[in-house]
Amino acid sequence: MSPMPNVKALERALDILEAFSLEKSELSLTELSRRVNLSPPTVSRLMQTLIKRGYLIQNPSNKKYRLSFKFLDLVAIIHAGMDLHRAAFPVLSKLRDKLKETVYLDVIEGDERVCIISLPGIHPVRTFVPLGQRSPLYAGADSRMLLASLDDEEIESYFNRVEFKCFASNTITDRERLWEEIRLTRLMDMAVSVNEFHPGSACISVPIRDYSTKVIAALSVSFPDSRANKSNIENYAAAIRNAARSLSEAMGYRQQGKKHIPIPEDFIKRISLA
């Protein structure tokens, strides 16, 4: 049975809307006709309805068409229905059961990183990250992952108002060293630390992004520094990156061809000896 006429028209209207992309945000009637494989008169009739309903607008300078801001209203409705806690809990549970280490989720609040979800590890010897734990944005991989998501100007402003203190043997309090770690964090899309905030504790942290690609949280695994060896760091990094991708996708993020670079060997060696 062939689709009903109104259903066919809806499918064609959706084809028109989906013809726009980041690379081609404005299209002429001829370009749209070619992309959706329909005649210009047919496309024009469908577009009149889309324009009337506010989903398409015409650029008066070049007569091309583009999507309107009305779609932002729909995105806002979708985003309002997304609950980070609700989406994160099953992802963190699966990750904790896989690694048997403590896993947790952090967000920025003011000048601090704050833990909003924490699932304790099930190893006999494990680390603890209490719910609600706070730390300055320069101390530890979890904090630095969030710090690295800020603009350079915001980071400099933060550095100017914060009082750097040592919490453990490897706390970084030198600005230049912190900038080096921030650049490496951005390059790897991941942060790793040993003995930076809690003595005897290691951490691997990766970003959680939403539909706009903005970093909205950091997903981390914490474990005793005695297990901070090359094999564990690589295995934990792979597992936490997969979990972060699942959670980011649940928040509307769509990865656009970005590939993770391997963790540098000298970096692993430095971390393992820290």
User: Quick one: pLDDT at residue 230?
Assistant: 87
The torsion angles phi and psi of 202, rounded to 5 degrees, stand at: -115, 160
User: Quick one: pLDDT at residue 211?
Assistant: 85
Q: Is residue 71 very low, low, confident or very high in pLDDT (cuts 50, 70, 90)?
A: confident
Res 272 pLDDT > 60? no
User: Quick one: pLDDT at residue 112?
Assistant: 95
Six-digit token string for 57 = 């607008």
User: Quick one: pLDDT at residue 69?
Assistant: 87
User: Quick one: pLDDT at residue 155?
Assistant: 97
Q: What is the mean pLDDT of residues 80-84?
A: 68
Torsion of CA 185, 249, 107, 69, to 10 degrees: 110
Contacts of 108 (CB under 8 A, 6+ apart): 114, 137, 146
In the predicted model, what is the mean pLDDT of the chain? 89
Q: Is residue 263 very low, low, confident or very high in pLDDT (cuts 50, 70, 90)?
A: low
Six-digit token string for 10 = 């809806």
Q: Is residue 1 very low, low, confident or very high in pLDDT (cuts 50, 70, 90)?
A: very low
**For residue 236, which of 206, 194, 198, 274 has the smallest C-alpha distance?**
206
**Domains of the chain and any CATH numbers:** 5-78 (1.10.10.10), 82-273 (3.30.450.40)
